[in-house]
Amino acid sequence: MSEIGLMLLRMAVWLGLAPLLPGLINKVKAAVAGRRGPPVLQLYYDLARLWRKGVVLSTLASPGFVFGPAVAWLAVVAAAALLPLGPLGAVAGFRGDVVLMIYLLALARFATAWSAMETGSAFEGMGAAREVSFAVLAEAAVIAGVLALCVQSGRLTLADMLGESAGPGAALLGAGLFVVLLAENCRVPFDDPNTHLELTMVHEVMVLDHSGPLLAAVLHGAAVKLLFFAVLLVQAVLPMGHWPAGTALAALAGGVLLVTVGVGLVEALLARVAFRRVPLLLTSAWVLCVFALLVAWKGGGR
């Protein structure tokens, strides 16, 4: 297959398969509760329906309200393009791309908060304040996890860093990144994506005024971000660089499925924690990633 064909295949995986993960999570939650639940492809149906609808704009909103979801979606997709898909590789990669990846994720959060503030709504401003407050600790955990991979591999390129596992600290790093995955994607116990109570929402309250294609961009971007963190978690733990291409691809798909099922089980079996306990959970994730960094440092990373 040509290089252009491989690039298109990688982007098709990111853009086409991402909406499948929220459907699987909802199916797991429904199965635990003894319900049938919505179809696995429900998000695909919702996205198609939203793209056919119009956009309702607040009289207070500036063009930033429209640009925010677009910039956030582009930033998340660009960050995903830097992350390798096992033997399929990354859409684009270069030395130091891990630094750009972190900044792109921060840009996506900034654009989402910016769009929420454009509405002039007190509720959306409250959600944006909570989002950026929790992000301080979540980003610290991500940076610590990335540093652990850098020390372990001695590389600054994502494809090289994720070709090997995190070594003896893989379990610590995996646990820390799983907590970060729940926080960054606003899942239980940090947030409930299905809640409708403005006073208890974080991410969902930020998109209350979005509709039509803007809401579709938000929902699809959230699905891509969920897939991004699932792929990052699996590749940070498993040494796929030493496996045959077929085995590595199967392990990646199975690992992402296992992470998705794990998120569904967490949401089905746990309740949301009080807001005052969220910093403690995120600090625990940071500590786990820092311990993984120390293990990589003292364990003879390259």
Please determine, for residue 147, whether its predicted confidence score (pLDDT) is greater than 60. yes
Burial class of 162 by CB neighbour count within 10 A (0 to 12, 13 to 18, 19+): buried
Pairwise CA distance, residues 230 & 208, whole Å: 26
Pairwise CA distance, residues 31 & 265, whole Å: 10
In the chain, the number of structural domains is: 1
Q: What pTM was computed for the model?
A: 0.95
User: Does 197 or 241 have the greater pLDDT score?
Assistant: 241
User: Does 120 or 254 have the greater pLDDT score?
Assistant: 254
Longest pairwise C-alpha distance within the chain? 59
How many Cα atoms occupy the beta-carbon half-sphere of 246 within 13 Å? 0
The string of pLDDT tens digits covering residues 123-137 is 888 889 989 999 999
Domain containing 79 equals 3-298
Question: At 198, is the pLDDT very low, low, confident or very high (cuts 50, 70, 90)?
Answer: low
Residue 300 has a pLDDT of: 56
The string of pLDDT tens digits covering residues 244-257 is 999 999 999 999 99
Cα distances from 57 to residues 48, 50, 110, in angstroms, run: 20, 15, 20
Residue 1 has a pLDDT of: 62
Average pLDDT over every residue of 95-117: 95
Angle formed at CA 257 by CA 295 and CA 112, multiple of 5 degrees: 80
With H, G, I as helix, E, B as strand and everything else as coil, classify residue 18. Answer: coil
Q: Tell me the DSSP string of 232-279.
A: HHHHHHS-GGGS-HHHHHHHHHHHHHHHHHHHHHHHHH--PPPGGGHH
Structural contact between residues 158 and 101, judged by C-beta atoms closer than 8 angstroms: yes
Pairwise CA distance, residues 38 & 97, whole Å: 38
Average pLDDT over every residue of 42-64: 92
